[in-house]
Amino acid sequence: MRIPHAIARSSAFRVRGGRASFAALAALLCLPALPAAAAPSPAGAVSWVPCDPPDESARCGTVTVPVAWDHPAASRSTQVRIAVRPARDRAHRVGVLMFNPGGPGAGAADLAARKDWAEFWFPPALLDRFDIVGVDPRGVPGSTPVSCADPVNPEVPRFPRTRAEVRGLVAANSAFAASCLQRTGPLAAHLDTDTVARDLDAVRAALGEPAISFLGVSYGTMLAQAYAERYPSRVRALVLDGVVDRALPADRLVLDGAAAVQDGLARFAARCAATEACVLRGKDVTAELGRMYARAERGEVRAGGRAVTAEELRLAVNDGLNTPLADAGLAAGIRDATDKGDATALTSLSRYQGRDEYARYRAIICQDVPRARPEALIGLAGAAARRGPSLRGASEMWDIVSGCAGLPRPARWTPHSWQVPSTVTPLILSGAHDVATPRRWAESVHRRLPGSTLVRWNGDGHGAWPMHNACAMRAAVTYLTDLTPPAATTCPADPAQAGRAS
């Protein structure tokens, strides 16, 4: 549900013509900027401060909210950072468009505050007709961040095969959760989507808006569901890009994720076979992965001065499959690890490289994804490996479910279908080969929301926004501006992907 960390460091996408590059955007998502210091705002008001860097077209500020919304009078307060980019065509302004670009663990304020990034992320029609409102959710730098110990310990298996390994994984997970509470305080226990949705509504009220339109990408669709269920009368329009089906239990999430990753790896192998510049062209990618795992299991693959486990390599490959824009780096990383025993390039794709960001991601997501029983992990790991044999079950959902297993506090989310009135009519965008949020989740959510419209786009990449499918994005723009569902609900692959294997 995130952009791979290493793409943030790629030099392949540079700023051209004043538009933000993908590298600049991904760097933002990995390392959000901190706001200028501001005095706490009174509850229900915005404390405005200059944007950093200054931009006369945007306004930045903070809104004070209670740490515990259920007990606001007795709770401490915390701040959420916001940025507002006013509609360029004031005479035809539609209203406010809030958005969440995914994660969790990164913010949205800088995407609204910085002109080049806003123009990269939002089509001109949205910048013209909407006040774009970016919010850095609680727990994220920019707002009050959660601080935790490093959650990554390669010596603790994430795919346990014995009861002793399960106990070791649960102990490591529990120690991580305890570190978040110890370093952050009560805020660490209040990072779930329902709480963040209440923060968003406080922002809406502080801006004096009766309703909002909302664009949620990946994790942002989880936040969208929480907001729509709590405040359905305040939703004007809702776009769900790369939707998570929150009705599913942990085992279904894991098995669907493993199958989607297996499909994504086959697609990657086919693209390599059809691309002359791919360094794995002419090779059996699955066989190369097997060779790489075997070397790692013998301690022959290294990065950063230490041996890298086969588990780490599989999870890094999984992260590299989130976008075809990473194909060259992924292929080179697999080749170097397999032929040279050097995993530096491959592990640079991994979410684990941004340790602070990954800690925030884990601290937040564990409050919103259903838990697997620790004693079920061994069998679930085996079932996932059968669904996704090439990466032996690795997927983002396995990373989440294994990383949250055994935590002392239960997840705040109980799996259920959307509980919203018929006035909530989302537009859902779903890619045919999304490795993080599979098409079957979008189909399931669509069936359970009779007023929804599903745009199915062909091609590869996690989420259509902001660069994987322009056709699906155009459908979303029309819906957001006019509340008109698209006449055509299928989209071909973008030209940049159309020449690749289908």
Strand partners of residue 133: 84, 98
Is-contact 238 426, C-beta < 8 A? yes
Q: What is the pLDDT of residues 336-380, one digit of tens each?
A: 999 999 999 999 999 888 889 999 999 999 999 999 999 999 999
Q: At what angle do helices 193-206 and 219-230 cross, to 10 degrees?
A: 70
What's the Cα-to-Cα distance from 303 to each of 55, 345, 348, rounded to whole Å? 41, 9, 9
Q: What is the pLDDT of residues 163-204, one digit of tens each?
A: 999 999 999 999 999 999 999 999 999 999 999 999 999 999
The pairing of strands 59-66 and 95-100 is unpaired
Dihedral pair phi/psi, residue 103, rounded to 5°: 130, -120
The fraction of the chain above a pLDDT of 90, given in percent, is: 83
Is-contact 322 329, C-beta < 8 A? no
CA–CA distance, 149 with 152 (Å, rounded to integer): 9
CA–CA distance, 103 with 358 (Å, rounded to integer): 10
Confidence of residue 497 (pLDDT cuts 50, 70, 90): low
Q: What is the pLDDT of residues 106-158, one digit of tens each?
A: 899 999 999 999 999 999 999 999 999 999 999 999 999 999 999 989 899 99
Return the structure tokens found at 107: 């913010």
Q: What is the pLDDT of residues 221-248, one digit of tens each?
A: 999 999 999 999 999 999 999 999 999 9
Number of Cβ atoms within 10 Å of the Cβ of 277:
9
Return the structure tokens found at 456: 């199915």
Residue 499 pLDDT more than 50? no
The pairing of strands 77-85 and 130-136 is antiparallel
Number of Cβ atoms within 10 Å of the Cβ of 93:
14
Burial class (CB within 10 angstroms; exposed 0-12, middle 13-18, buried 19+) of 255: buried
Burial class (CB within 10 angstroms; exposed 0-12, middle 13-18, buried 19+) of 211: middle
Q: What is the pLDDT of residue 470?
A: 95
Confidence of residue 5 (pLDDT cuts 50, 70, 90): very low
Residue spans of alpha helices (H) in 231-301: 250-273, 285-297
Q: What is the CA radius of gyration of the chain?
A: 22
What's the Cα-to-Cα distance from 245 to each of 1, 189, 228, 447, rounded to whole Å? 13, 23, 15, 11
Is-contact 227 197, C-beta < 8 A? yes
Is-contact 113 60, C-beta < 8 A? yes
